[in-house]
Chains A and B, each alone.
Chain A
Amino acid sequence: MKHPLEVRLASVFKDIRTGPGPDGRLAVAAPAESVVPVLTFLKEDGFDFLQLVSCVDWIREDQIEVVYLLSKYVPAGGEAEAGVTGIVLKTRVPRAEPVLATSIHVFPVAEPYEREMHELFGVTFEGHPRLIPLLLEREYKIPPFRKDFDTRKYCEDFFGSVPPVGEKK
């Protein structure tokens, strides 16, 4: 049986898929252009707390998954709503050109998260007022949290390698 929230979502958005997620959360998969409308809809529906914006680099499928985790500040609405504690909203963008619309006018807390994801995964959030580096001090050819970024090679190139014990001259 479908949850009432799923039915409501499906009646408004035709291009999304919903299903039960982990721990009583509702998993929503949406195309990139629907993310902000879905977030707006869910915020008006009571999911007013954006816990996290994260990225997963699925290098085998050549896609980057952007994940939004939503929950409620004041839990437990009516009887029918019991069961859905939060939302996992996922969208996939191509690795070569990962572009999404920013969501900070819906959730202002997304500002530092989107900045971090731009820096670490190279995802561009269009409309973000300051997509400038947050944590790192250098420019990288490959965004450093992507799977094809070789941490060890980078360290050896940049800081020099230490010879293994016993090979020192």
Chain B
Amino acid sequence: MRELELYFGPQHLGMIGNFSITLTVEGDRIVRAVANPGYLHRGFEKLMELRTWIQNFPMVCRMNVVEPDSMEMIYAMGVEKLAGIEVPERAQFVRSIYLEMARVQSHLFGLWAYASMLGFDTVAQWAMYHRDLLLDLFEELTGGRAYHIYIWPGGVRRDFPEGFEDRLVSTLHTIGGCVPDYDAEFFNNPVFRERARGIGVVRREDCLALGGTGQVMRATGMPYDIRKIDPYAAYGRVPFNVPVRQECDAYSRIWIVRDEMIESVHMIFKLLDEMPKKGSVYKRIPNPFKWRIPAGDAYVRCESSRGELGLYIVSDGGDKPYRVHVRTPSYPHGLAILEKVLVGESIADVGNIMISMYVVAPEIDR
């Protein structure tokens, strides 16, 4: 049969953000896929070299639109590592709770994208509504809804307001009470199951070779989670499970997202119980206008809602970073693994597979 070239994107339902793929198709089957990123390249890593250590916070959080909080965390961790700053005990717990809230809202956003892509509009509206309830809490805590800039080198910007913990628990109960509805309408829905099962299979050996992490790796039966193997913040203090499945396909990846949300909510409850009730939530840092950090380099990593998020940061002893490079989880998922996994699939499943890989385009381009 004749081969045709099909331009898929940059605007389509298969991904949050702009990202295109050039598909070579034979009939309905994909013979070759070439990822074509760059629509959202803003050169943040270069711009960060021109701004002081603290001025960079509004930059880092805009790298991932959906989940800016892990970006703040990773940058704060990198600066702390270079400058040798210890974070107080209570701040570690506040950070963990905040990051788990961010994980739940990011997963709900991802669920919205997946559900609306497949035409499950009711579920999409639920997910967006429940995400909004969490954004209200973020607004109360930080003053911002989408971008928060709450985590700071040395701790967090401010402590929980009066009664915040109770409101957090009651909001999480509200969301948790709807899990049976989500299951019935979406996760166990035969229409969805038949569309998502068996497509976009990423085997363990492909994951290992092509740098897969996060849901893509955990759907192959490997419990690879930075919170377990390299604990940061307060993740070493509470027990939690890493959801794992064996099927390697799109259906198992979205089930891992669902299980992770539930696990995150349970983890927030445990963290609230274990958290020290008193104490400072930040350590004073030097005057940001005159802050010079000793020369050196560091690589720090954390588990964002999409996989391993890393930061390689170099200081030459000045008041600005000398070089910043963010290892985003979407980068290998969206460029290396996607090109491989799309081969042999049908055109109708491209968006479905892309969104199940959980890729965010701004993270690839930076």
Q: Which residues of A contact B (CB under 8 A)?
A: 22-23, 25, 48-52, 54-57, 67, 69, 73, 75, 85-86, 88, 107-109, 111-112, 133-137, 144-145, 149, 151
Residue with the highest number of chain A CB atoms closer than 10 Å, among B323, B325, B365: B325
**Given A52-B327, A151-B46: A134 in contact with B38 (beta carbons within 8 A):** yes
Q: Which residues of B contact A (CB under 8 A)?
A: 37-38, 41, 43, 45-47, 50, 81, 208-211, 222, 224, 229-230, 296-301, 308, 310, 312, 314, 322-323, 325, 327, 331-332, 335-336, 365
Cross-chain contact of B312 among A54, A73, A109, A137 (Cβ < 8 A): A54
Residue of B nearest to A88 (CB): B299
**Given A134-B37, A134-B38: A151 in contact with B299 (beta carbons within 8 A):** no
**Given A112-B332, A145-B45: A52 in contact with B297 (beta carbons within 8 A):** no
Residue with the highest number of chain B CB atoms closer than 10 Å, among A49, A51, A133, A144: A51
A-B pairs under 8 A by CB, number: 84
**Given A75-B229, A108-B210, A145-B46: A56 in contact with B336 (beta carbons within 8 A):** no
Contact between A52 and B332 (Cβ–Cβ < 8 Å)? no
- Taking the closest CB of chain B, its distance from the CB of A142, in whole angstroms, is 12
Contact between B299 and A25 (Cβ–Cβ < 8 Å)? yes
Contacts of A108 in B (CB 8 A): 209-210, 336
Cross-chain contact of B224 among A73, A86, A149 (Cβ < 8 A): A73
The B contact surface, by secondary structure, is mixed
Instruction: List 7 other contacts, CB 8 Å, given A23-B300, A51-B327.
Output: A51-B308, A54-B323, A69-B299, A86-B299, A109-B332, A109-B336, A151-B46
Cross-chain contact of B323 among A56, A135, A137 (Cβ < 8 A): A56
Contact between B209 and A135 (Cβ–Cβ < 8 Å)? no
Kindly state the separation between the CA atoms of A85 and B312 in the bound complex, as whole angstroms.
Answer: 15
Contact between B298 and A109 (Cβ–Cβ < 8 Å)? no
Residue of A nearest to B41 (CB): A135
Contacts of A22 in B (CB 8 A): 81, 296-299
Contacts of B230 in A (CB 8 A): 75, 85
Kindly state the separation between the CA atoms of A56 and B309 in the bound complex, as whole angstroms.
Answer: 20
Instruction: Name 13 interchain pairs, CB-CB below 8 A, sorted by A.
Output: A22-B296, A23-B299, A48-B208, A50-B211, A52-B325, A54-B312, A109-B211, A112-B332, A134-B38, A135-B365, A136-B38, A136-B41, A144-B46
Residue with the highest number of chain B CB atoms closer than 10 Å, among A52, A107, A145: A52
Residue of A nearest to B43 (CB): A144
- Taking the closest CB of chain A, its distance from the CB of B25, in whole angstroms, is 20
Contact between B222 and A73 (Cβ–Cβ < 8 Å)? yes
Kindly state the separation between the CA atoms of A21 and B38 in the bound complex, as whole angstroms.
Answer: 33
Contact between A151 and B50 (Cβ–Cβ < 8 Å)? yes
Kindly state the separation between the CA atoms of A107 and B208 in the bound complex, as whole angstroms.
Answer: 9
Kindly state the separation between the CA atoms of A133 and B222 in the bound complex, as whole angstroms.
Answer: 34
Residue of A nearest to B224 (CB): A73
- Taking the closest CB of chain A, its distance from the CB of B201, in whole angstroms, is 18
- Taking the closest CB of chain B, its distance from the CB of A122, in whole angstroms, is 14
Cross-chain contact of A23 among B41, B209, B298 (Cβ < 8 A): B298
**Given A86-B299, A137-B38: A52 in contact with B312 (beta carbons within 8 A):** yes
Residue of A nearest to B217 (CB): A73
